[in-house]
Amino acid sequence: MASAATAWGQLGAHLRETQLLGSIQSTLYWDQNTRMPSAGASWRGEQLTLLATQLHARQSSAAYADLLAAARQHWNSAERCPEQGRNLDLLEQDLQRQQSLDPALVAALAQAKADGYDRWQQARSASDFSLFAPALQTLIDLRQEQAKQLDEPRSCWETLAQPFEPDLRLERLEALFAPLRQRLPELVAQACTRPRPRSADWDLEESSQQDLCDELLGAWGRNPAITCMARSPHPFSITLGPADYRITTRVVPGQPLSCFLATAHEWGHSLYEQGLPDQSHQWFAWPLGQATSMAVHESQSLFWENRVARSRPFAEQWWKRFAQVGAPFSGAQDMWQAMNPMAPGLNRVEADELSYGLHILIRTDLEISLLEQGLEVKDLPDEWNRRYEELLGVRPMNDAEGCLQDVHWSEGLFGYFPSYLLGHLISAQLSEAMAVSIGQPEHHVREGSLDTVLHWLREHVHGIGRAMNAEQLVEKVSARQLSAQPFLDYIESKLDNRGKW
Amino acid sequence: MASAATAWGQLGAHLRETQLLGSIQSTLYWDQNTRMPSAGASWRGEQLTLLATQLHARQSSAAYADLLAAARQHWNSAERCPEQGRNLDLLEQDLQRQQSLDPALVAALAQAKADGYDRWQQARSASDFSLFAPALQTLIDLRQEQAKQLDEPRSCWETLAQPFEPDLRLERLEALFAPLRQRLPELVAQACTRPRPRSADWDLEESSQQDLCDELLGAWGRNPAITCMARSPHPFSITLGPADYRITTRVVPGQPLSCFLATAHEWGHSLYEQGLPDQSHQWFAWPLGQATSMAVHESQSLFWENRVARSRPFAEQWWKRFAQVGAPFSGAQDMWQAMNPMAPGLNRVEADELSYGLHILIRTDLEISLLEQGLEVKDLPDEWNRRYEELLGVRPMNDAEGCLQDVHWSEGLFGYFPSYLLGHLISAQLSEAMAVSIGQPEHHVREGSLDTVLHWLREHVHGIGRAMNAEQLVEKVSARQLSAQPFLDYIESKLDNRGKW
């Protein structure tokens, strides 16, 4: 039997190499979305398929299983370090999953994701769902097959949601979302009846938007030696190495605040990644050094987007800067109102905090229907439009602004959408805990003490990694179970205070 | 014995996967040079080392050797298609080389290249050669070891030059360069005595330079679906897939034409890659679908930079556009003179056609001395400066504008520099052949019939791939052996005509 040091060392070396390969995959993804010319898509799809196959082979190999077993044996026999125990639990769970999958399915999925993304882009620019439908059907079939092969005591949708939201059950999700299903439509209806100041259409120069984003991240402490920014059709944040963090933003014509808010949002994601534990160099490769769930990730991006950038004190500090480059703001209130329209629209990414949840309820219901309840792909656009009319009172004019607007399904990501809304709930509940501990986030925005806020987040959220799952983390920080109440309280108070500037 | 179709099919599939991995490596390189934040260098180095190790294992494996042997057996027995025969020759040669190398050396080299590049950047920004010297010594040691392991009937430098300039011998190189060693210093001295119109210092806005580059490539038929442009510290061209061609350029303060000429230059490289044979999808992965040598590559970039963009008719067409954005041109002659200063400087990349060769003679001699003749690393800066003074009559003020100016040695590229000068010779000799066949390139610039020029290059140069080596290609196209004479004739005529506008 190898010594404990050898067993852990060999396992660590294996994980490190896996992480190297995984981060190469991420680099290809980054390039694909920021710079790759369109005709490069097919070769890139083959590259990604090759890497996915290699990664799956590494993560399911007998050699790796032996390394893991040896480390577990040492842990059982002597050193019961709880953190390494948690690492082993997570690694064993993932090994079990990877070993359940047929390599042919892994390759087919990688290829279908690349094809799906490519077809979705074409379908969206032609606003024609039928161009994408066959690819979506393939992805659904493959994902259903994946869930079958994984053979967990979970429903198909639940099984697919695990990589994003570990331990989430549909029943729990429904319980968390029930108050939102009831209250959000009421609040939207209420907000729509209130008089709203008319705002003329306006826009900002692309270069001004870029400058404002640079200033924002400068003010928020960006270190250019470890971070960079680019443009992509859909903003995202990605980590390519232990000292290589990247975000993208985009400029949307006619939506002069979109780029700025997307930057704030993605920077929140990046701050979470930048704050993940790194006590030893291996943490980047070990599970505990990774994000615990997409909902927690989203709670961090939403914090900086909504609690900071959409706050009143932020508008007080920034409105003049926006006015300088052409925004029609004669005071902070104008900026705050532009940041918080509180009016339902068709677009999820540009939605305000009030109607955002309704977008997610629609998508969540639809993907569960597609995967588990027999909704046919061809019926998706009608079903989508019907629900938008019902819940938000608006109806898409075409597929591009309807069911083709989001990228996720084109990459076979099912089970991902709820994380966005859970992120709102978590952000609100963490913010309450923060308020008790160090004072309201808005107070720190006013005082210019955002470093205090960041320090608190680093300590209570970022630095935890995967030591706890999302709900355990929230419970530890806020001393109560996750619920929709803090979010509803926050949003109702924001609505109430709207008139009392 | 497998059927012929199977043998070729399996070999083709293996090569395709190798090419996928190789192009992933290229994507990492592209990202490293265009976008990666500086602190990402160390992890990137590990990624590149991992890929280099994997690639070497694939390219030297017994399984691959068997595939190649089976294909050769079929070729010997029946189908003596000469093109596939050439493919096999080149593959066997490369297999032999890869099998000679110790995997540990391959990994050490990849890591040393990443380290060397990183240290060189630091040394250059501090203008302190001593920061880079240990890394350079390591690279020299490893490359000498590589040449020893390859054990070819060639000198160390010759062995290392093979991947760039197949079949090149030092003796032949010296014979080709001898007339340049004699004539270039005379021409430089002569050019310096002539009166030159004084030109005030001027510059162009970065955005204007970018616009001019976009217009240039638009005029030269760039297809954005398969090409993209970015910025990097050193301009380069790279192919990431069979439909994914990329170039970079840079803006140099105080050198308002640098960005434009670098774009023209890199576009010439890219056109060569875009024109490589692709009769079957496999050509991208087979040797014949690749560039035959760096010198031929360079001849193509130099053609578009020098024969087109630095020509008189080009200045006639473009000077007003430059004047519009602030260039002090009152006529085409001003632009032509700014494009062709004919004055020696310290910087290779910004050098004109006249003094360019002297830069290369210095570097070639120095790297041969370092590898084969016992020049010590610590003596490099002094030796560099001495030769600059001797050959070009200028002396670097510091290491940054001296021996640290080029990237190549920092990546362990020895044997590469002569290709640049051979490219000048090849470009001139091919241009003579073109003139005989379809008329002077300058004529086509004037007539706006650059598509005719491109068509000729596609047919006679690009489409040949590696079917011939550089000298064979030149001999076939021009019906005589490669020599320095066409280049000297061209440059002397350009000098003579300077006064006769």
Cβ under 8 Å to B: A residues 50-109: 50-51
Give tens-digit pLDDT for B122-181.
999 999 999 999 999 999 999 999 999 999 999 999 999 999 999 999 999 999 999 999
Residues B332 and B204 in one domain: yes
Q: Which residue has the tokens 């998508």?
A: A363
Please tell me the distance in Å from B258's CA to the nearest CA on chain A.
Answer: 23
Residue B28 to residue A30, Cβ atoms within 8 A:
no
- Cβ neighbours of residue B64 under 8 Å, at least 6 residues apart? B14, B58, B95
Task: Kindly report the backbone phi and psi dihedral angles of residue A364, in degrees, each rounded to the nearest multiple of 5, phi listed first.
Answer: -60, -50
Give tens-digit pLDDT for B303-314.
999 999 999 999
Probe site for chain A from B36, B42, B51, B227 (most A CB atoms < 10 A): B36
User: Which residues of A are less than 8 Å from B39 in CB distance?
Assistant: 225-226, 243-244
pLDDT, averaged across chain B: 94
**Residue B157 covered by a domain:** no
Residue A475 designated active-site: no
A429 interface with B at CB cutoff 8 Å:
no
Return the percentage of chain A with pLDDT > 70, whole number.
Answer: 97
B42 interface with A at CB cutoff 8 Å:
yes
**Residue B501 covered by a domain:** no
pLDDT given at position A33? 92
Residue A37 to residue B228, Cβ atoms within 8 A:
yes
Q: Enter the DSSP assignment of A244.
A: E
Residues A458 and A320 in one domain: yes
Per-position b or e across B143-159, b if 16+ CB within 10 A of its CB: bbbbbeebeeebbbbbb
B438 interface with A at CB cutoff 8 Å:
no
B40 interface with A at CB cutoff 8 Å:
yes
Residues B201 and B85 in one domain: no
Give tens-digit pLDDT for A155-169.
999 999 999 999 999
CB atoms within 10 A of CB A120: 23
pLDDT given at position B197? 55
Domain boundary among A121, A151, A181: A151
B316 class by beta-carbon count within 10 Å (0-12 exposed, 13-18 middle, 19+ buried):
middle
Domain boundary among A151, A178, A203: A151
Cα nearest neighbour of B49 on chain A: A20
**Residues of B designated catalytic:** 266
Please say whether the beta carbons of B353 and B347 come within 8 A: no
Domain boundary among A103, A123, A151: A151
Residues A248 and A381 in one domain: yes
Which candidate from A27, A38, A224 shows the least CB-CB separation from B37? A224
Half-sphere CA count of B24, side-chain side, radius 13 A: 33
Q: Enter the DSSP assignment of A240.
A: E
B24 interface with A at CB cutoff 8 Å:
yes
Residue B35 to residue A226, Cβ atoms within 8 A:
no
Residues A77 and A125 in one domain: yes
pLDDT given at position B323? 97
A35 interface with B at CB cutoff 8 Å:
yes
**Residue B156 covered by a domain:** no
pLDDT given at position A197? 55
pLDDT given at position B414? 97
Which candidate from B50, B224, B225 shows the least CB-CB separation from A20? B50
Please tell me the distance in Å from A246's CA to the nearest CA on chain B.
Answer: 9
Residue B37 to residue A225, Cβ atoms within 8 A:
yes
Cα nearest neighbour of A38 on chain B: B225
**Residue A338 covered by a domain:** yes
User: Which residues of B are less than 8 Å from A44 in CB distance?
Assistant: 241, 244
User: Which residues of B are less than 8 Å from A38 in CB distance?
Assistant: 225
A442 interface with B at CB cutoff 8 Å:
no
Residues B232 and B126 in one domain: no
Please say whether the beta carbons of B88 and B75 come within 8 A: yes
Residues B203 and B114 in one domain: no
Which candidate from A20, A27, A38 shows the least CB-CB separation from B225? A38
A20 interface with B at CB cutoff 8 Å:
yes
pLDDT given at position A147? 98
A243 interface with B at CB cutoff 8 Å:
yes
Q: Is the pLDDT score of B363 beyond 60? A: yes
Give pLDDT < 50 ranges for chain A: none
Give the Cα separation of B58 and B418 in Å (integer): 30
Give tens-digit pLDDT for B26-66.
999 999 999 999 999 999 999 999 999 999 999 999 999 99
Residues B76 and B203 in one domain: no
Per-position b or e across A469-488, b if 16+ CB within 10 A of its CB: bbbebbeebbeeebbbebbb
User: Which residues of A are less than 8 Å from B36 in CB distance?
Assistant: 228, 240, 244
pLDDT given at position A283? 81
**Residue A162 covered by a domain:** no
* CATH number of the domain enclosing B261: 1.10.1370.30
Residue A40 to residue B226, Cβ atoms within 8 A:
yes
pLDDT given at position A501? 61
Supply the DSSP string of B83-133, one letter for each residue.
HHHHHHHHHHHHHHHHHHS-HHHHHHHHHHHHHHHHHHHHHHHHT-HHHHH
**Residue B165 covered by a domain:** no
Give tens-digit pLDDT for B310-326.
999 999 999 999 999 99
Say how many CB pairs under 8 Å bridge A and B: 108
Give the residue-averaged pLDDT of B74-83.
86
Please tell me the distance in Å from A48's CA to the nearest CA on chain B.
Answer: 9
List the strands of the sheet with B237-241, edge to edge: B227-231, B244-249, B237-241
pLDDT given at position A498? 79
**Residue A178 covered by a domain:** yes
pLDDT, averaged across chain A: 94
Per the rule left: phi > 0, alpha: psi between -120 and 50, beta: everything else, A148 is alpha
Please tell me the distance in Å from B25's CA to the nearest CA on chain A.
Answer: 9
Give the residue from B461, B20, B423, B27 showing the smallest Cα distance to B274. B461
**Residue A164 covered by a domain:** no
Q: Give me B257's structure tokens.
A: 């034409």
Give the Cα separation of B377 and B414 in Å (integer): 14
pLDDT given at position A196? 61
What pairs with residue B244 in β-bridges?
A: B241
Domain span at residue A344?
170-496
User: Which residues of B are less than 8 Å from A226 in CB distance?
Assistant: 37, 39-40
Split at pLDDT 50, 70, 90, the class of B190 is confident
User: Which residues of B are less than 8 Å from A224 in CB distance?
Assistant: 37
Residues B177 and B147 in one domain: no
B17 interface with A at CB cutoff 8 Å:
yes
B20 interface with A at CB cutoff 8 Å:
yes
Please say whether the beta carbons of A268 and A301 come within 8 A: yes
Residue A240 to residue B43, Cβ atoms within 8 A:
yes
Which candidate from A27, A39, A230 shows the least CB-CB separation from B244? A39
Give tens-digit pLDDT for B94-127.
999 999 999 999 999 999 998 999 899 999 999 9
Which candidate in A158, A165, A266, A471 is catalytic? A266
The amino acid sitting at A236 is F
Cα nearest neighbour of B21 on chain A: A47
Residues B314 and B236 in one domain: yes
Residues B384 and B346 in one domain: yes
B200 interface with A at CB cutoff 8 Å:
no
Residue B244 to residue A51, Cβ atoms within 8 A:
no
Query: B342 or A492: which carries more pLDDT confidence?
Result: A492
Look at chain A and report how many structural domains it folds into.
2
ipTM of model: 0.92
In whole angstroms, how far apart are CA A249 and each of A314, B39, B87, B369?
20, 22, 46, 50
Q: Give me A428's structure tokens.
A: 């609100």
Give the residue-averaged pLDDT of B389-397.
92
Residues A182 and A143 in one domain: no
Please tell me the distance in Å from A43's CA to the nearest CA on chain B.
Answer: 6
Residue B31 to residue A36, Cβ atoms within 8 A:
no
Which candidate from B35, B40, B51 shows the least CB-CB separation from A241? B40
What pairs with residue B227 in β-bridges?
A: B245
Cα nearest neighbour of B25 on chain A: A24
Return the percentage of chain B with pLDDT > 90, whole number.
Answer: 87
